[in-house]
Structure 1
Amino acid sequence: MGLGLATGMEFYTFDSVNLVLTDLTGTLGVSADEASWILTVYSCALFLGVPISIWMAGHFGYKRFLLGTVVAFAATSIGCSLAPDLDIMLFWRALQGLAAAGLVMWWRASVYLLMPKPQRSPSLMRISTMLYLSSAAGLLASGYITDHANWRLIFLPNLLYAAGALWLIARHFPNQPKPSAERLVSADWPGIVLLAIALIALQVILNRGEIDDWFGSAHLRILGFVGAGALILFIAWQMSAANRTPLLWLELMRDRNVLSSALLGVLTGMILSGSVFVLPEFLRNVASKTYSATQTGQIMCVYALTAAAIRPLMVGFIARVGQRKAIAFALVMLIMSMLIFNRLLTTGTPGWYFALPLVLYAFCLSPLLPAVGSGTVARIDQNKLLDGVSLYMTFRQFGASLGVALLTILISHRETLHSARLFDHVRHDNDVTRTWLSTVSGTLTTHGGYTPLEAQQASVRMLAEQGAHQAAAYAYADAFAFMAVVGIVALCLLPIVPPTPVQKK
């Protein structure tokens, strides 16, 4: 319960910030592209913090580390709520991501360390159900708080989560001895620095590429060389015999289970971050009926509540059909969900139409995460469990940070493309366009009190706005098609997943 409350705080915050991103842009006075950094900076810090958390837990002790990360996440939540501008918000979000790394890493790792093997799946199931309920709470509560008070208050429920988690962990989490292994006590500072350089370079390129003409820009080319060099040096250093305390135990990638889980983890991270990022942005910014934060949260919570309801059934389902078939089923559900989103997405689509693809998305998440995660540690030694979980979570968080950045780029690029194509057909010499403008101008002149010149100018503005909304709708639909492609790519990786024994009837 304590682990569930601690990690539920992170799930609550992730969905809450994603939901109210539109309100943050207005208050902080930034564009939508700049606001996306609030998500990507957090994801990048979380990605960097996952492997570091193993060393920190070994250095400070497991229980003390868990208590410290809960306090740190709650403190950074207060910092986010008080941030006066984007720069300060990004600072607190980076610290919050580092704190969140310990939560998302150690709730799973603690179960593997503390529970006997037969009890791991039921324990993971109970905590996962709590996490989905926390996501639903974040979507419902943050939407209501934003509409009836202020978005800054959405971070305050984290203090309640933190209080309950601290009390339960302090009382019931067993005191584990510090590990004697040098690599779990000492820090791999060269590895940390190299990984940070590679990650920062990649994220800057992804976020500035569309604006600065990608590698046509000299500073982006330099960043590309620096990032690639840092990544190569990081891999070489992790594999080097001279490195006695590697940040990531890449030797485990020779195990087929770990390799398949790591590769699928990247795509799983993209699915997790990307799929729930696009729909709230569309509903709040593009749909012709502007949805409030409360209404958007009510629509989005369908997936979280469905996932919480069916998650208990997944333990028996995965045991009966095996890991590979469970992943295949989940990916088929994902592809169907994203393709339905792609077909349904128009500026006038009623919100309740999205219930079916959201339910299908829940049927993807519930079996996918436990099936891929459990495969990581299926056949590795007990003393390597932490390293296996760290590898999987690191790759998954890399995919999460990559997913939001790629979708932001894709939407911007496709919106420009669709605008060019759309307005190429909307010209004054087009009979349909002239008829539409004449009808709207006449209506505004007759019923709106406009002069003929004002009515003509207003009708042109209305046409431009309608065209921009249509182009944006096409771009968001393309984003869902992209996520379906991610699911197909993941499906193609299934042959590398080793078959697992299934329960007899």
Structure 2
Amino acid sequence: MELPQNSLVEYGARRVIITITAIFCALLEIVDTTIVNVALNDMRGNMGATLSEIGWVITAYAIGNVIIVPMTSWLAQQFGRRNYFAVSIIIFTVSSFLCGNASTMWELVLFRFIQGLGGGALLVTSQTIITESYPPEKRGMAQAIYGLGVIIGPTLGPPLGGYIVDNFSWPYIFYINIPIGVIATLLTLQFVRSPKYGEKKSASEIDWFGIIFLALGVGSLQFVLERGQEDDWFNDTTILLLTVTAVLAFFFFIWRELVYKNPIVELRVMKNGNLRVGTLLSFLLGFGLYGSTFIIPLYTQSTLGWTATQSGMLMIPAALTTAFMMPIIGKLLEKGVPQPYLIAFGMLLFFVYSFWGYKIITPDTGADAFFWMLIVRGVGMGMLFIPITALSLSTLKGQQIGQGAAFTGMMRQLGGSFGVALITTFIARRNESHRSDLVSKLDTNNPDVINRINSMANGFMSKGMDSKAALGTAYRAMDYNVGKQAVVMSYMEVFLYLGVLFLICIPLMLLVKSNKQKGKLDASAMH
């Protein structure tokens, strides 16, 4: 038996404490996905690792994350939600300490994987705990509060990481998790309550094959997405082997879950039309959210020469705009504005942001040019996140809500991984293509090209170089300029195609039926 619907609703100071605890846990998890990006160079130097080895610090965390998310509903039933949540925080906190103290590269990778296993549970379970602590009529607002952590987290990571690396040393990006983790554990044990579940499954009833197939499938897929471009995709034996493993593992996983009486993941919940649409939209949201959070720092640092802290700070006004929008969207949902209309408008704003990016980026775009474009992104993200979550869960009841939340959480993570993998590959391929096009137009018999080279050579000679060295430097400078222009053209296309992707999804939103209950969510058994 489960508790009646309103029995987990909290009031007053108790609800405030539970909400703050859950948001901090969600933030801890998400900030840690991006905070290490700016510290990779320092880690590489300390560990004596290669560029491809240090990439594992990100990959291992993502694999641990994606494996555990679909299992959260089942694990919460097995051990009780409060216990499971508290243990996840402890695993995350202890592994953060171990990451900071790692002395070798592969120690760090192992501890990051364990940290990912602890962190994956924090996200979905935080959403469940916040939603259940509010009465049904305030659940649109509960989603808004949770959304703050999910949207702001990826943006906070780079500037916070940049500040810590510039002023302290890289282990402190892990150590800052420890005091928050200790406080969150104590507050969870004191204040968070669990629904009453049915009988626990005995060891013989546990879906061990389901767990193995799921871990193999999502682990292999995540590896392929994270490492594919660097390892030349299917020309690499490991990537090819893991792709085949992922396909077979997913096939057997789906078959197992549909025939086993106690499945680890309840796939039958996907019969719900709104959840199917919401799952696809969550994938698209992850693609846009993580994809755009990935390309802007990459462009500003690699092409414009900004520091990690500068490019991180650029994203903060957009994050604050999203934070400002969240409660407004929550109120609109409570007043009965249909979720598909809000999602369609959010997609339109994301298209405007992307098209704006396509128009303004050059080899020397100034910081001011990004401001309003990123504000539009902030508003658009606010209008996408809460309505998508509300739409996904709006026609589910009881335990199905926890299972639905796990699906949307996993798809958002996978969407982000697909986004980053596709964007990285696309930039590399288009960069080569644009470069060869530009070089083919540089005819050394063209008077304009000759004059440009000569004027650059004269400039270098005026600084004391001899004529031969000056001419060589001029050719290298021209080559650098061509390379830079090719990269910018590739980024322009990424912005354009990201925008078009969101634009073509707008008509589909008008075919979706919205929840008629004024944005209320029956989240009585989200796990």
Q: Answer yes or no: same fold by TM over 0.5.
A: yes
Shift in Å, 1:327: 0.6
Change (3 A) 1:414 1:451: same
Q: Do the aligned partners of 2:140 and 2:331 also contact (CA within 8 Å) in 1?
A: no
Change (3 A) 1:373 1:422: same
Q: Secondary structure at the match of 2:403?
A: helix
Show the counterpart of 1:173: 192
> Does 1:98 find its partner at 2:114?
no
Q: 2:89 aligned to 59, 70, 90, which one?
A: 70
Q: Do the aligned partners of 2:282 and 2:411 also contact (CA within 8 Å) in 1?
A: yes
Change (3 A) 1:480 1:122: same
Q: Do the aligned partners of 1:55 and 1:187 also contact (CA within 8 Å) in 2?
A: no
- Per-residue CA deviation, residues 18-44 of structure 1 (Å, 9 max, x unaligned), is 455565566666676765554444333
Show the counterpart of 2:325: 310
Shift in Å, 1:317: 2.1
Show the 5 A alignment for 1:405-424: 405-424=421-440
Question: Matched residues in 2 for 1:117 and 1:492: separation?
Answer: 30
Q: Do the aligned partners of 1:33 and 1:408 also contact (CA within 8 Å) in 2?
A: no
> Does 1:372 find its partner at 2:391?
no
Q: Do the aligned partners of 1:248 and 1:391 also contact (CA within 8 Å) in 2?
A: no
- Per-residue CA deviation, residues 37-76 of structure 1 (Å, 9 max, x unaligned), is 5444433332211012223222222112111111222223
Q: 2:361 aligned to 331, 339, 345, which one?
A: 345
Change (3 A) 1:137 1:184: farther
- Per-residue CA deviation, residues 345-388 of structure 1 (Å, 9 max, x unaligned), is 22200112111121111112212111111122212221322112
What one-letter code is carried by the residue in structure 2 that aligns with 1:484? G
Show the counterpart of 2:404: 388
Q: 2:33 aligned to 14, 36, 54, which one?
A: 14
Show the 5 A alignment for 1:69-468: 69-83=88-102, 87-129=106-148, 137-180=156-199, 182=201, 187-206=206-225, 209-210=228-229, 214-215=233-234, 220-240=239-259, 243-287=260-304, 290-319=305-334, 320-447=336-463, 449-468=464-483
Q: Count matched residues.
A: 499
Change (3 A) 1:489 1:158: farther
Q: Do the aligned partners of 1:264 and 1:493 also contact (CA within 8 Å) in 2?
A: no
- Per-residue CA deviation, residues 380-438 of structure 1 (Å, 9 max, x unaligned), is 22132211212222222221222222222112111111221122223433333322221
Show the counterpart of 2:75: 56
In structure 2, the gaps of 5 or more residues are: 1-19, 520-527
What one-letter code is carried by the residue in structure 2 that aligns with 1:375? L
Question: Matched residues in 2 for 1:405 and 1:183: separation?
Answer: 40
What is the TM-score when the length of structure 1 is the normalising length? 0.89
What is the TM-score when the length of structure 2 is the normalising length? 0.86
What one-letter code is carried by the residue in structure 2 that aligns with 1:383? Q
Q: Do the aligned partners of 1:132 and 1:305 also contact (CA within 8 Å) in 2?
A: no
Shift in Å, 1:15: 3.7
- Per-residue CA deviation, residues 131-171 of structure 1 (Å, 9 max, x unaligned), is 55655654443222222333432233222321332232222
Change (3 A) 1:307 1:208: closer
- Per-residue CA deviation, residues 235-293 of structure 1 (Å, 9 max, x unaligned), is 122212xx122232121111111111111121112122111011111111111xx2112
Shift in Å, 1:440: 1.5
Shift in Å, 1:83: 4.5
Question: Matched residues in 2 for 1:75 and 1:198: separation?
Answer: 27
Show the counterpart of 1:44: 63
Larger displacement relative to structure 2 (116-125 or 12-21): 12-21
Question: Matched residues in 2 for 1:174 and 1:58: separation?
Answer: 13
Q: Secondary structure at the match of 1:321?
A: coil
Shift in Å, 1:215: 4.2
Change (3 A) 1:106 1:474: same
Shift in Å, 1:190: 1.4
Q: Secondary structure at the match of 2:362?
A: coil
Shift in Å, 1:197: 2.5
Change (3 A) 1:291 1:216: closer
Q: Do the aligned partners of 2:28 and 2:177 also contact (CA within 8 Å) in 1?
A: yes
What one-letter code is carried by the residue in structure 2 that aligns with 1:90? V
Shift in Å, 1:470: 1.7
Change (3 A) 1:99 1:478: farther
Change (3 A) 1:114 1:211: closer
Shift in Å, 1:300: 1.2
Question: Matched residues in 2 for 1:395 and 1:184: separation?
Answer: 29
What one-letter code is carried by the residue in structure 2 that aligns with 1:309? F
Shift in Å, 1:221: 4.5
Shift in Å, 1:11: 2.8
Question: Matched residues in 2 for 1:100 and 1:411: separation?
Answer: 30
Larger displacement relative to structure 2 (44-53 or 175-184): 175-184
Larger displacement relative to structure 2 (277-286 or 13-22): 13-22
Change (3 A) 1:424 1:236: same
Show the 5 A alignment for 1:457-496: 457-496=472-511
Show the counterpart of 1:4: 23
Q: Do the aligned partners of 1:415 and 1:475 also contact (CA within 8 Å) in 2?
A: yes
Question: Matched residues in 2 for 1:54 and 1:188: separation?
Answer: 14
Q: Do the aligned partners of 1:19 and 1:296 also contact (CA within 8 Å) in 2?
A: no
Q: Do the aligned partners of 1:128 and 1:311 also contact (CA within 8 Å) in 2?
A: yes
Question: Matched residues in 1 for 2:117 and 2:504: separation?
Answer: 30
Larger displacement relative to structure 2 (318-327 or 118-127): 118-127
Shift in Å, 1:326: 0.8
Question: Matched residues in 2 for 1:154 and 1:336: separation?
Answer: 35
Change (3 A) 1:493 1:40: farther
In structure 1, the gaps of 5 or more residues are: none
